[in-house]
């Protein structure tokens, strides 16, 4: 099924659902041959409305497999597990949803086509309810107290009522997602369904097609002005050989004949490309290297795009390609655990799951090139008696924090602590940066940002106003450290 057909059926299904004909909407959704993560999410919501919990669970499973960063899908699957009285699995998914929030108060999915805001305090509220169902009343209270740090005024009364209930060891009401709210396709794509013109305008500023002698138009390639073209030329030009239908928000839809510019190629055969001033990921084996000539003297015929079947879609591996949409992490095999270590910079190591302390500390000290005795580890950014990891720590409790073969630890060395406390790097915002992307960190000119890690040469990760996310390095500068004379 082509991208256009998928888009058309998706739009039809959501339109029918808006008319409250849910059975017909579900029928249309189920006829889509290659659903993306958002479509699977919509299918799960409709099954949930029909009280078909097993079908809803399977649909949310597929949605998460397509996009493991979709926090709202974890939230909906957790609600499904809760209604099936599978409270341990429900708790785990609420925890996954909270981790996907990455310290932010909420994620607004409006930019992705879903009119819904997932609030951290509501996720913590439901985590507390799952703990209460398991008889863990103290943990339930801890989660609700934590929810107060993320509360909004409209949610304060709900949390207070839940806290009072836990003190009396009584259950409280589950916060549910409004299942009639569905992901909808991009309205600009829908508006272009019937009038899409792949030939573009007849006026040509510059042709990007090899052996193109005539002043006409490039087939299937919308024309752009010279400034757009020069910006695209930062990457390597490639021709698209096959139609590619995106399955996640960071992938890019392209059709045969399009000219894209590859900025980076990952070891997993995915490439970060620019096409019509939009950036995204496409399989590299769908592309063919292209030598650009603006006025070449060659054949009179423009090569037509191939018609053979496209190759198999490559498997996505997070660690092999730096992505602008998510922080850089390394994908591990099933028997290995990726340990993300926050130091003055952030790095990752891999160790067998359940490794002893000696192996873990040797790996980290080897990476830092300091003696293992000089390294101190903790489970949280603030080292406390409960979070410090040393030779006397029960490592089973440490590895219990692993989620999907990943864990984050904090690290300091003797050089950082001897004589004076560790100094954090602070940045000041030169310009205001606002983004609807939930992974990004928004701030205003003059705000102070705490530096956490460098994603790549263009993007940094930091904290500001209680939120954590990534942002362009060019928007900030480091605050100089004022040295004080301690001899006076």
How many H-runs (helices) and E-runs (strands) does the chain carry?
14, 17
| Half-sphere exposure (Cβ direction) of 109: Cα atoms closer than 13 Å | 22
Token couple for 477: 């500068």
Cβ–Cβ contacts within 10 Å for residue 1, how many?
Answer: 13
Token couple for 154: 């409209």
Domain boundaries 336-417, corresponding CATH code: 3.10.20.90
CA distance 159 to 197: 53
CA distance 119 to 128: 15
pLDDT (0 to 100) of residue 305: 46
3-state SS track over 308-377: CCCCCCCCCCHHHCCCCCCCCCCCCCCCEEEEEEECCCEEEEEEECCCCHHHHHHHHHHHHCCCHHHEEE
pLDDT (0 to 100) of residue 463: 87
Mean pLDDT of the chain: 78
Contact indicator for 62, 40 with CB cutoff of 8 Å = yes
- The DSSP string of 167-181 is HTT---PPP---TT-
CA pseudo-torsion sign 186, 102, 425, 460: negative
426-478: which CATH number, 2.60.40.10, 2.30.30.40, 3.40.30.10, 3.40.47.10? 2.30.30.40
CA distance 105 to 354: 32
Token couple for 14: 């959501």
Show me where the domains of the chain are located: 3-187, 198-302+314-325, 336-417, 426-478
Judge whether 3-187 and 336-417 match in fold.
no
70-118 pLDDT tens trace: 999 999 999 999 999 999 999 999 999 999 888 888 888 888 888 898 9
pLDDT (0 to 100) of residue 472: 86
Domain 198-302+314-325 coded CATH 3.10.310.10? no
Q: Which residues pair with 403 in a beta bridge?
A: 406
CA distance 3 to 257: 15
336-358 pLDDT tens trace: 788 888 877 667 788 888 888 98
pLDDT (0 to 100) of residue 258: 84
Angstrom distances, CA of residue 340 to CA of 113, 270, 330, 394, 402: 32, 23, 9, 20, 11
Q: Which residues of the chain have pLDDT under 70?
A: 1, 152-156, 188-234, 249, 277, 291-310, 312-313, 315-335, 345-346, 414-423, 436-439, 456-457, 480-488
Closest alpha carbon to 436 in 104, 10, 48: 104
pLDDT (0 to 100) of residue 189: 66
Closest alpha carbon to 425 in 316, 329, 342: 342
Domain boundaries 3-187, corresponding CATH code: 1.25.40.10
């Amino acid at each position: 099924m082509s991208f256009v057909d998928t888009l058309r059926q998706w739009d039809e299904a959501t339109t029918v659902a808006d008319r409250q004909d849910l059975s017909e909407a579900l029928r249309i959704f189920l006829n889509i041959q290659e659903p993306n993560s958002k479509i699977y999410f919509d299918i799960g919501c409709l099954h949930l409305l029909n009280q078909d919990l097993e079908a809803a669970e399977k649909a949310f499973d597929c949605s998460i497999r397509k996009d493991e960063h979709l926090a709202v899908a974890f939230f909906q699957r957790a609600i499904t597990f809760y209604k099936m009285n599978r409270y341990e699995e429900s708790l785990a998914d609420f925890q996954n949803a909270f981790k996907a929030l990455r310290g932010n108060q909420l994620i607004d999915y409006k930019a992705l086509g879903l009119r819904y805001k997932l609030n951290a305090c509501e996720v913590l509220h439901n985590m507390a309810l799952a703990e209460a169902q398991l008889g863990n009343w103290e943990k339930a209270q801890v989660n609700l107290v934590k929810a107060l740090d993320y509360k909004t005024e409209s949610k304060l009364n709900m949390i207070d009522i839940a806290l009072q209930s836990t003190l009396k060891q009584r259950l409280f009401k589950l916060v549910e997602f409004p299942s009639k709210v569905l992901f909808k396709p991009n309205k600009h794509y829908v508006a272009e369904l019937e009038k899409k013109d792949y030939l573009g305008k007849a006026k040509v500023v510059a042709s990007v097609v090899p052996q193109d002698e005539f002043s006409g138009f490039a087939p299937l390639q919308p024309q752009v002005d010279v400034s757009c073209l020069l910006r695209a030329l930062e990457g390597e030009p490639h021709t698209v050989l096959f139609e590619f239908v995106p399955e996640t928000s960071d992938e890019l839809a392209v059709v045969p004949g399009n000219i894209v510019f590859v900025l980076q190629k990952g070891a997993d055969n995915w490439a970060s490309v620019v096409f019509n001033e939009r950036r995204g990921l496409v399989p590299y084996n769908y592309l063919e290297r292209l030598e650009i000539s603006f006025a070449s003297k060659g054949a009179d015929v423009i090569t037509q795009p191939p018609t053979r079947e496209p190759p198999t879609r490559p498997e996505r591996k997070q660690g092999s390609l730096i992505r602008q949409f998510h922080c850089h992490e390394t994908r591990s095999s099933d028997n290995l655990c990726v340990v993300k270590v926050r130091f003055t910079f952030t790095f990752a190591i891999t160790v067998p799951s359940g490794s002893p302390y000696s192996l873990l500390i040797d790996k980290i000290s080897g990476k830092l090139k300091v003696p293992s005795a000089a390294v101190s580890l903790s489970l949280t950014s603030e080292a406390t008696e409960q979070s410090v990891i040393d030779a006397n720590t029960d490592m089973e409790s440490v590895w219990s924090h692993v989620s999907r073969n990943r864990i984050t630890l904090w690290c300091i060395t003797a050089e950082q602590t001897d004589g004076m406390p560790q100094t954090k790097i602070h940045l000041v915002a030169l310009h205001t940066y606002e983004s609807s992307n939930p992974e990004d960190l928004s701030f205003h000119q003059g705000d102070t940002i705490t530096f956490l890690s460098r994603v790549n040469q263009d993007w940094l990760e930091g904290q500001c106003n209680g939120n954590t996310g990534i942002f362009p390095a060019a928007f900030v500068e480091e605050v100089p450290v004022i040295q004080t004379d301690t001899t006076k």
